[in-house]
Structure 1
């Protein structure tokens, strides 16, 4: 997380949330980082999104893991015992498939779950330890882009899970740098399991990010509700429209909040007045989609080599096992 540190800025802008909101709402064009989505309400809304009929990524990735979990874990472990670390774990609903496979292979496994949402991690720990004997859950609230090396494995091989296509929320160079940062924290021979959403028909993509029930719209607008609650802002959510669009040139879905009218919003904790024109947007998220050759090139540039790759019957989603070298 980026934190502004300037003595002339309001005190509220010195916190992670305040810093990100200040930076984003004073930028041109305006933007907000997608990690701001994930307060308790946002985490709950995202879990609802993953169950929507239009939202194919979660169920498609789950089907891949269900079919290949034993193969994935065996390939990752080799002749060693595994410790698993998940970045952006959320409630870890899909991860149980891999944890079950690890228990079948080695009787017990330690699972380090890292996420910005304490609520999601508490739910993951409660559910996994109740359902899966042999799994010890170690939750850590924080930014998963830092401090991976602090996770001790007691001599076991570590496998980092970065599933759910979260890599697509980063700009290409930032995604590459994240993979390089992960690689820097790993020893040669340790593993990365990467979940990636592939390029497909744009109508399928757009429906996934603008569902008929309006859950994604509520998820998007919740970032404004969070700013109201935590920073005292007066955003009127009814004066914003959720927009999702496919950017063909950059191979990404974009999510925006579009102002329905010309308006002014005050954010007292940041001593900030935000002016928006009618039709002006706040850019809240990108979700890049990939081709197979692009994923392999990105892994190789980050000093990983591809060990194996699994996909669904339609090639809508890919799960890549890579080895640090």
Structure 2
């Protein structure tokens, strides 16, 4: 894992337009910070999707066409703390549906905490956790021929560029069997005054979340990033529907990464791209799904119409 981390950091910081992979936000500290972000007043995404899972749970089950006596695998890509998913698990467990829950996440810490909580709160639910990048885990899905429902929530697909999202959807489609379902949570295109504060909260938690990646590089790769000499700067374009997060160098400076035996130069104002958060509408999602075998069955909206959970089916 460390070699992959080291190589990814080297590639990102060596590029003409520097970047750092957002998947490395998540360690024990990053997990805790993201839980704080989800509870911030500015961060509407989690609340909006929770609204759907809390108040339209039976609608989700009905639309997924889940039969109580037919065993299926409920697979969640990027499970995190599972707060929203528990609303679905509660109903499935209470009504004695035959299923196994397979949470997948890059953070072993998040998976272990989720497994511990579910064993106490929903002991009847069988949980099989899988650690890894969900791009890699998708390959393993092909080995199972049980009916599948794949959850990809939190607008995680929005962290991918459109070309990467198309590839991901195509790979996901290929890993599924006919009539398998996907519940895809996506953030909808909205005005800047709603979106931008979600990535630039007044308390500075999102800044700390981004800077935790620099902390990780310092501690795990023997680097000397001076966090006092960098800023956190998010951007959002309502026209494109794309939000981006950047760490920006406040001055001309050099940073040495001991594990790479390499020094990187930063100019004043130079950006390090850390995350993309694409927002969607029906047309954008349609273009992403165009060359896959997944088709839209319906969508469920939260009460403010900020967020949508789309139900997709493998043709």
Q: Same fold, TM exceeding 0.5?
A: yes
Deviations 1:256-309 (A, max 9, x none): 011111110000101110111111111111100011232234234321111221
Match of 1:200 among 164, 185, 190: 190
Q: Determine if the alignment matches structure 1 residue 96 to structure 2 residue 86.
A: yes
> Which residue does the alignment assign to 1:116?
106
C-alpha displacement of 1:146: 1.6
Q: Point out where structure 1 has 5 or more consecutive residues left out of the alignment.
A: 4-11
- Map residues 66-215 of structure 1 onto 2, 5 A cutoff: 66-79=54-67, 80-151=70-141, 156-215=146-205
In structure 2, distance between residues paired with 1:113 and 1:198: 25
* Aligned-residue CA RMSD (Å): 1.8
Indicate the residue corresponding to 2:16 in structure 1.
28
**C-alpha distance 82-73 of structure 1, shift in aligned 2 (>3 A):** farther
Cα distance between partner residues in 2 of 1:32 and 1:142: 18
Question: Given that residues 81 and 106 in structure 1 are in contact (C-alpha distance below 8 angstroms), is that contact kept between their aligned partners in structure 2?
Answer: no
Return 5+ residue gaps in structure 2 as ranges.
none
Q: How many residues align?
A: 313
Is the CA contact (8 Å cut-off) linking 1:89 and 1:113 kept in structure 2?
yes
Q: 2:242·2:278 contact (CA, 8 Å) conserved in 1?
A: yes
TM-score calculated relative to the size of structure 1: 0.92
State how far apart, in whole Å, the 1-side matches of 2:199 and 2:271 are.
17
Is the contact between residue 167 and residue 196 of structure 1 (CA under 8 Å) also seen in structure 2?
yes
Aligned residue number for residue 235 of structure 1: 225
Does structure 2 retain, via aligned residues, the 8 Å contact 1:83–1:153?
no
Q: Which residue of 2 aligns with 1:59?
A: 47
| Counterpart residue number, 1:46 | 34
The DSSP-based 3-state class of the residue aligned with 2:118 is helix
Q: Greater CA deviation, 102-111 or 205-214?
A: 102-111
- Aligned 8 A contact 1:91 1:124 in 2: yes
Q: For residue 6 of structure 1, what is the aligned residue in structure 2?
A: none
Write out per-residue CA displacement over residues 163-214 of structure 1, whole angstroms, 9 at most, x where no aligned residue: 0000000000100110111111100000100000001010111110000000
Going from structure 1 to structure 2, the CA distance change for 1:242 and 1:30 (only over 3 Å counts) comes to same
Deviates more, 1:79-88 or 1:224-233: 79-88
Spell out, residue by residue over 1:71-126, the C-alpha distance to the aligned partner (whole angstroms, 9 max, x if none). 21233244433320000111111110111122234345311111110100001100
After TM superposition, the score normalised by the length of structure 2 is 0.95
Q: Secondary structure at the residue paired with 1:223?
A: helix
- The CA distance in 2 between the partners of 1:76 and 1:312, in whole Å, is 18
The 1-side partners of 2:209 and 2:261 are apart by: 26
Shift, 1:155, TM fit: 5.5
* SS of equivalent to 2:129: strand
